[in-house]
């Protein structure tokens, strides 16, 4: 009888170990899925931001051609309105008339829905240069330059490329 009880105990112990192993495996898989999903959402949102970076040079060229011709900023206007066939993520690009280009993201993604990414012009404080430097998002003008336009960026910094983050968010 003693041998039978030892076998029964051994079988129960194996069942407990097997059940614990299953719980550990399921927990590990759920943790991996949760991590992968959050990483994928962040990555895809960052990828959607690059569409604005892609369209910025053309928008800047429209504004700068008017500015270089007359020496004054053009009036406030919509530079481009997109329908779904032209852009999946950008609703429109606007110029505020004082030195900022704003990209409004459409409702295709919840992270960027209605958010704005601004590119703000800055020029030399001492007026020693006619250079205009454009700052993306939360970046500050370089030393010796001051912002001309207004930054209306509402996209969270964690989604922006490093070149568009404030200096305290880079590290």
Tell me: the pLDDT tens digits for 5-25?
544 545 666 776 676 676 677
147 neighbors 137 (Cβ within 8 angstroms): no
What mean pLDDT value characterizes the chain? 78
SS3 132: strand
Is residue 66 in some structural domain? yes
Cβ-in-10-Å burial (0-12, 13-18, 19+) of 37 comes to exposed
Is residue 4 in some structural domain? no
Domain enclosing residue 91, as ranges: 48-169
- The pLDDT assigned to 79 comes to 79
Is residue 105 in some structural domain? yes
**Strand residues in 4-109 grouped as ranges (E):** 77-81, 90-95, 100-105
- The pLDDT assigned to 18 comes to 74
- The pLDDT assigned to 4 comes to 47
The set of residues, in sequence order, having a beta carbon less than 8 Å from that of 166 and lying 6+ positions away, is: 138, 139, 140, 157
Tell me: the pLDDT tens digits for 129-165?
678 889 998 999 888 888 988 999 999 988 888 888 8
What is the value of pTM for the model shown?
0.72
Mean pLDDT value of segment 64-75: 84
* 119 band by pLDDT with thresholds 50, 70 and 90: very high
Is residue 142 in some structural domain? yes
Q: How many domains does the chain have?
A: 1
137 neighbors 165 (Cβ within 8 angstroms): yes
Residue 54 has pLDDT above 50, yes or no: yes
**Strand residues in the chain grouped as ranges (E):** 77-81, 90-95, 100-105, 116-124, 132-136, 145-147
> The CATH number of the domain where 90 resides is what?
3.30.700.10
């Amino acid at each position: 009888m003693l041998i039978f009880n030892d076998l029964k105990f051994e079988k129960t112990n194996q069942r407990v170990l097997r059940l614990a192993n299953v719980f550990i495996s399921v927990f590990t898989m759920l943790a991996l899925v949760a991590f992968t999903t959050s990483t994928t959402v962040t990555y895809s949102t960052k990828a959607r931001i690059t569409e604005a970076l892609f369209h910025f040079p053309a928008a800047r060229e429209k504004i700068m051609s008017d500015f270089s011709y007359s020496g004054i900023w053009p009036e406030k206007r919509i530079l481009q309105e997109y329908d779904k066939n032209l852009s999946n993520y950008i609703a429109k690009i606007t110029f505020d008339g004082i030195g900022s280009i704003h990209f409004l993201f459409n409702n295709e993604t919840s992270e960027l829905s209605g958010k704005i990414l601004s590119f703000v012009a800055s020029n030399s404080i001492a007026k020693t240069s006619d250079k205009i430097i454009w700052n993306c998002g939360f970046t500050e003008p370089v030393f010796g330059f001051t912002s001309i336009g207004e930054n209306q960026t509402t996209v969270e910094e964690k989604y922006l490329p490093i070149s568009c983050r404030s200096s305290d968010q880079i590290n």
